[in-house]
Amino acid sequence: MEEPTFLFPPPDSDLDLSFTSTTTDRTFTSSARTSLARTSSLALSFNDRLSTASTAGDTVSSAVIRRPHRSSDPNWTAIKAATNLSSDGRLHLRHLKLIRHLGSGDLGRVFLCRLRDYDGANFALKVVDKDLLTPKKFSHAETEAEILHALDHPFLPTLYARIDVSHYTCLLIDYCPGGDLHALLRKQPGNRLTVSAARFFAAEILVSLEYLHALGVVYRDLKPENVLLREDGHVMLSDFDLCFKSDVTPTFECCKVNKHHVGPTYGCFGCNESRSRDSRVKVVAEFVAEPTTAFSRSCVGTHEYLAPELVSGNGHGNGVDWWAFGVFIYELLYGMTPFKGCSKEGTLRNIASNNDVKFHVAENEEVGMVEARDLIEKLLVKDPKKRLGCVRGATDVKRHPFFDGIKWPLIRTYKPPEVKGLLRRKKSDLIVTSKKIRKGWWKRLGCALRNKGARFDLLSNYSNNNHYCYVNNSKVR
């Protein structure tokens, strides 16, 4: 017999939040690496009996403006439909249905959820119990919420709503069914990717860091575990609780570029260029926004990805992200981090030493590995003042030959690589063709949804068939 449904849960009912799993300490191993600020045990239980009547007056739901880059996402249509039927025009916990527990962290737990009586949109709900947080961790949680609210980028999460109820803070963000990049690496032969696949993921992470740095945000926790994979195979950088913000002064600079060395570079915000009288030189106008004055003494991050200046404890800035980016590319190509020791302490000693990064050079290695090693060496310079990216950010990193052939404004249109275990749903599979609508308040908007475009193509911005590869030591389109 079908259970009755209601426009809203009855006043004496409890919200369906009865998940009881807890977290345990994660150890510093190759398969589970924890950030230094995430070593305490967490037992977060969402079993408080929060009735609809009691939460009505205590709930604060923050409205989030639809962002341009994700404005065509069908999730926004679902959110709008729910808020239109809400008595105060806001989203509340009573509108959500928890499906299963996805994972836990130092600050809270993450659930897969959907809107009640509507199964056409999946979300991730990050739940933070403020009563269990120390003042420092509470500050990290607020920083993450603030940063998520400001983001508008195809490779970063979208914050659909923030709901504060009782001592809980709930953040409704994108759900990535493809898992994380660390798990994908473990499915590959030798735990490593091909050069073309590594370049694909590195390029998308690069523009993500470029965007964050343009906002004055230093990420500080780059690692494959924090790179989630969307259902279309593209990335989504996650976990912003270890970030810190700094002032940034954007500049627009003109520089001469040798035509035979490097083509024009493109930032997240476009570019202009003109050809000089010398046919061998191009004058390129570049947008540069790098938080070069950023400074912090907090020792946070994952030990295998920590920069030398962070290990020393003398303070660090934006350079820690470019160091971590070099470690990130190294792990994608070699299946391990470059300074990994027999223990956590051994790894930190290797990072703090004066020894440069070492590579294993195979006899018949892939085309492009020479450029990859050169980029890694420039990123893993112990002195942050000499490290690639620390002065002009992603603008200089994009110039490196490893990324030659990439048209940065079209990066969203590149096809994800053929990688074992990578979820790559075809365009036709991502069209929302029909949805099972249960009896209840959602049915009242059935006609409105059809008229307002309930059918969406998640890959409407990915219709171009651009790709690139190496052939005989040269890149071709």
Which residues are identified as catalytic? Answer: 221
For residue 165, count CB atoms less than 10 angstroms from its CB and return exposed for 0-12, middle for 13-18, buried for 19 or more. buried
Encoded tokens for 316: 């660090």
Decide if 151 contacts 159 (C-beta within 8 A): yes
**CA separation for the pair 279, 93 (Å, rounded):** 62
Contact predicate 223/324, CB 8 Å: yes
Tokens of 467: 């790709």
Contacts of 113 (CB under 8 A, 6+ apart): 96, 97, 98, 99, 122, 123, 124, 125, 172
Terminal-to-terminal C-alpha distance of the chain: 59
DSSP state of 457: B
**Residue 405: partners with Cβ closer than 8 Å, 6 or more residues away:** 468, 475, 476, 477
The stretches of 289-334 forming alpha helices (DSSP H) are 308-312, 319-334
CA separation for the pair 276, 259 (Å, rounded): 11
Among 239, 44, 34, residue whose Cα is nearest residue 132: 44
State which amino acid sits at residue 102.
L
Contact 94, 82 (CB under 8 A): no
Residues 238 and 226 sit within 8 Å (Cβ to Cβ): yes
Q: Which of 315, 324, 360, 346 is nearest to 237 (CA)?
A: 324
- Residue from 59, 42, 49, 60 nearest 128 by CA: 42
Give the total residue count for the chain.
477
Closest CA to 201 of 218, 220, 223, 186: 223
Phi first, then psi: give them for residue 463, nearest 5 degrees.
Answer: -80, -15
